[in-house]
Amino acid sequence: MQAHADDITNWIRDWQDGDAAARDRVFTRLYGELKRLAAAVLRSESGHDTLQPTALFNDALIKLTLAAQAPAADDRKHFARIVARAMRQVLVDRARRKLADKRGAGVAPASLDGCDVAFSANPEDLVALDSALATLARLDPRAASVVELRVFAGFTIEETAQALDIHPSAVNREWAHASAWLKQHLAAPD
């Protein structure tokens, strides 16, 4: 397992040095795992009935490959977080396009009650969550990363802890803090 992780870390570094073949090796090796993350994202949210996991994942990869530089990933876990962020951006961009078609539907902000985020993923909620998450990221980057991995990548507490290299109890604290902050921020009138 360690050799596998070392290979991916080396390939990511080679990709950052401009090796397109290394990029392809990273995508090939991680394809199944990252596609599973895309499926988890779509399962956890409604409102994306026409978007398939493969399309979400491929759109995220296109976003990454069209960038001027390879993602500045340190290792496999960091790369997974970057892909999760790209998936978030794809979903938010899609929501913004829907909002451009119809504005002001009067939908209430997303609920963050309970341990799991009950998020409807309608365009208004998704754009509001993205804006709130960007603000949270400036104030508390680790809490924002926890939310991003839990909501947009569908990670469990344990998977989030591994991805961020922190203890699961720290993930629980960050999750509780971020959920409360987001709930308050999303409920506040503009």
For the chain, list residues with pLDDT below 50. Answer: 1, 104-111, 113-119
Residue boundaries of the structural domains of the chain: 2-187
C-alpha separations of 172 from 41, 59, 77, 85, 161 in Å: 20, 30, 19, 20, 9
pLDDT for res 115: 32
pLDDT for res 1: 46
pLDDT for res 3: 54
> CB neighbours of 96 closer than 8 A, spacing ≥ 6?
123, 127
pLDDT for res 52: 81
pLDDT for res 46: 58
